[in-house]
A and B are shown apart, each in its own frame.
Chain A
Amino acid sequence: MSDTLWILAILLLTGTANALIGTLLVLRRMAMLSDAISHSVLFGLAVAYLIVGSRDPLAMFTGATVAGLFTAWLTDWLNRRGNVQHDASIGVVFTFLFALGVILVSAYAHRVHLDVEHVLYGEVAFAPFERLELGDVDLGPRAFWTLLVVALLNVGFILIGFHRLQMLTFSTTLAATAGIATGLWHYLIMTVTSLTAVASFEAVGAILVVALLVMPTNTAWLLAKSLRSMLWLAVSFAAVAVLIGYGIAAWLDAAIASAIAVTAGLLYFLVLGGRIMARWLIRQPYSHRHYRDIRDENAS
């Protein structure tokens, strides 16, 4: 398999995983929490490196996931116990952790091969060079296998918990009355979000994570009628954005992650425009003006 195909496979898996969990986040009004988690992952990576002393993938993965969960928990705690309003608690926590992360990375920059820009907008173009080797067999890029596992985890999570998640995204109160352990499921969603953010973040950087979590989902929301169709549509829009964005990046010779995010955003506006146009065309004969004219005629 050539490098281009590997990169595309990695990006498509990233898109799928993020679109799935992003749908749950957006429906639960936690879109900005994904931004916070994707930033504080840097802190986890830096601390894991300092403790273990090497870039051992498993340690980095654990550190970053714990940092993500810690962000979710601290935000929640500040909000409930500290009387800080929800959005402010997100902002306070992630700027603090991210700033600590940047300081740690720049203080030990000569030892860590982890520069901040790489973390911010990643470089998937280099992903094929880090191979996963089992004995003598070259299995392909490591990022591909991590993302495959995470994408499968996302699919499995949603398949198993579908009915509970559906009720939870609809109304937390209703879910609690129906006997669902809302706290447990909230932190399960947070764990899957952190895992997804960490895995995709290594390949594509923090910004694409936020873009892929939020943009395809909201595009899907414009058209979807149920949670099921929203999930399918979100994954499809993510895939379309990945393919077109990759083409644009190759054409311009610029960052792949940024090109994909921009494409996903433009896709939203395209669908929004299409929907407005469609409504306009369909409703034209029965528009308000039409009714008003009839009413005025009857009145006179």
Chain B
Amino acid sequence: MDNLLFNQLHDPNVRWVATGALLIGMAAAVVGCFAFLRRQALIGDVLAHAALPGVTMAFFLTHSRDWSVLLLGALGSTITGWAMIEFLTRRAGMREDSALAFTLSFFFALGTLHLTWIQRNVPAHSAGLDSILFGQAAAVTPDELLRLGVLAILVLLTIVVLFDRLKLVLFDRQFALCIGMPVRFYELVIALLIVLTVVIGLQLTGVILMAALLLTPAAAARLLSHRLGIIVPLAGLFGAIAGLIGAQASLMAPRMPTGPWIAVAISLIFFASLATSFLRRVKRVRSARA
């Protein structure tokens, strides 16, 4: 069992990858809770798909594979995608689910259109660009992963500092408005946090399975508790486990995409907590009868 993550922690490279993956997983899960409770659980899926055209455009313009450049592109197009959802639902009168599916397929099609065009018409170094689709933790240098980890810490800190305010805006918007809180500002903060975590999480899971990292830990934690103060740390824990599993997967099989392993692991956690909540409900019904 030499290739277990635990046995290789003496290698500083492995340690960095593990720490980065853990932080990213945790940040994504924590931010995912807010998206989940705003009933926008699938927005992570949409925004992650929306990152694709930005990545291909950044690659096309700079011809660089440096992740920080590609991430800037991803950030730009993800914000555009978010604005498009807002526009479609608020101004164009489209229903929420249609607007999500519309934005997702529009941006993803734009990205794949550009990607196939690059691959056929700009022959040099476009190979491997499609690792963005499924994520490859091993393709990132430890240095870059560290930078992403720092971003993840920033996201986590913002949430810790603003926790009470975000909670109020989330659960009682009317009351928050009445006591004069800048509600729109905090809603924008939540949206920006979601966008930022989606972009940094792309490293781990890729475009298609980002939804799993953002949403499944929150859904699992929500089954176990009704208190936000418990749901959020619990989801963070699940996310961290998922991140570690991703790092482990990329260590064992460097050529395999990491996204699917993370998604499967986190789904198993979800089903475990589903079973727990069923058992608890059965117990409660029985004790009520007795």
> A210–B259 contact, CB under 8 A?
no
Could you mark each residue 74-107 of chain A with 1 if its beta carbon is under 8 Å from any beta carbon of chain B, else 0? Answer: 0000100011110111111011101110110010
Number of residues on chain A facing chain B (CB within 8 A) = 55
**B219 in contact with A88 (CB, 8 Å):** yes
**A299–chain B nearest beta-carbon distance, Å:** 32
Neighbour of B105 across the interface among A91, A116, A261, CB < 8 A: A261
Q: For residues 71 through 92 of chain B, which have their beta carbon under 8 Å from a beta carbon of chain A?
A: 92
Assuming the contacts A35-B104, A85-B41, A102-B257, asked whether A262 and B264 have C-beta atoms less than 8 A apart, the reply is no
Cβ-defined partner of B112 (8 Å) among A26, A34, A100, A258: A258
Contacts of B173 in A (CB 8 A): none
> Closest residue to B108 on the A side, CB-wise?
A207
8 Å CB interface, A239-262 against B: 249, 252-255, 257-262
How far, in angstroms, from A261 to B116 measured CA to CA in the complex?
Answer: 14
Determine whether the beta carbon of A32 is less than 8 Å from that of B42. yes
- Kindly state whether residue A211 has any CB partner on chain B within 8 Å: yes
B117 with A207: CB separation less than 8 A: no
Closest to A39 in B: B208
B39 CB contact (under 8 Å) in A39, A87, A255: A87
Known contacts A26-B98, A214-B98; A99/B116 CB under 8 A: no
Are A254 and B120 also in contact (CB < 8 A) when A35-B101, A91-B42, A99-B264 are?
A: yes
Q: Provide the bound-state CA to CA distance between A99 and B262, in Å.
A: 9
Q: A96-B263, A258-B112 are in contact. Are A83 and B277 (CB under 8 A)?
A: yes
Bound CA–CA A249/B113 (angstroms): 8
Closest residue on chain A to residue B206 by CB atoms: A102
9 contacts between A and B (CB under 8 A): A31-B97, A88-B218, A91-B42, A96-B267, A98-B209, A102-B257, A207-B108, A261-B109, A262-B110
Residues of A participating in the B interface, judged by any CB pair closer than 8 Å: 26, 29-32, 34-35, 39, 78, 82-85, 87-92, 94-96, 98-100, 102-103, 106, 116-117, 120-121, 207-208, 210-211, 213-215, 217-218, 249, 252-255, 257-262, 265, 268, 272
